[in-house]
Amino acid sequence: MFDLTAYAEIITGQFLLSLGALFYTGWWLTAFRPDARSGGALSALLFLLLAVFGLSGTALTVHGIHGLPLPPSWPGGTMLLALALLVYFILLAGSVKLFGRKPTTELILLVLWALMEIMVLGVLHEAGGLAGAAYGLTWAAVAAASLIAFTAYMMYYRMDDNTAYITGAVPLLVDGAVTLMIALLGR
């Protein structure tokens, strides 16, 4: 895609995703401010930018993942997707039945983001781009970001409007920082 190697597609995709997360955070803070009715033109522009950078970053990353092998000890991509969907349905059922959490699209997005980033770590490691401390650090960052996102997801509707507003932005910034870190360490 765009005459990039699969490896370069992933790194470029991660950079684009980090920019998308920055625009997503800006959109969130503009559009969902508790004292505002609408984010206006700025909100629309930020949403457009988050869509362009987020979707192009995802497309490049996923295309790049398919161009590189996963570690041989890992299950294949289809099995990883099936496992991610199983995790999603377990988290969905648990959050609704045990905690009364209203289901929203954020849950599937956070599970699929984690899957994509885990696959990125696997193929970059297998290609020799992430090794040693960088590999361990990126794994820890993806795990921490996933836990932060799920915690924010679970707590969001239990918070007052101002706290929820700020809490909703935290996973966006963290995910952006993680994708940027992967892009920089994987270069």
Tens digit of each residue's pLDDT (9 = 90 or more) over 138-155: 999 999 999 999 999 999
Q: What residues contact 9, with CB distance under 8 A and at least 6 apart?
A: 1, 2, 60, 61, 63, 64, 67
DSSP code, position 157 = G
Q: Is residue 61 part of a domain?
A: yes
pLDDT score recorded for residue 130? 92
Closest CA to 179 of 128, 130, 136, 145: 145
Q: Is residue 164 part of a domain?
A: yes
pLDDT score recorded for residue 38? 73
DSSP code, position 156 = G
Q: Is residue 33 part of a domain?
A: yes
Q: Is residue 149 part of a domain?
A: yes
For residue 36, pLDDT over 80 is answered with no
Q: Are 115 and 80 in contact (CB under 8 A)?
A: yes
DSSP letters for 105-165: HHHHHHHHHHHHHHHHHHHHHHTTSS-HHHHHHHHHHHHHHHHHHHHHHHHGGGS-HHHHH
For residue 1, pLDDT over 70 is answered with no
pTM above 0.75, yes or no: yes
Q: Is residue 1 part of a domain?
A: no
Residue count (the chain)? 187
Number of structural domains (the chain) is 1
Tens of pLDDT, residue by residue over 61-101, are 999 999 999 999 999 999 999 999 999 999 999 999 998 99
173: which 2 tokens? Answer: 């910034």
Domain hosting 49: range is 6-186
Name the packing angle between helices 132-155 and 105-126 (round to 10°). Answer: 180
Q: Is residue 103 part of a domain?
A: yes
Q: What residues contact 49, with CB distance under 8 A and at least 6 apart?
A: 20, 23, 27
What is the CB neighbour count within 10 angstroms for residue 17? Answer: 30
- To the nearest whole number, what is the mean pLDDT of the chain? 95
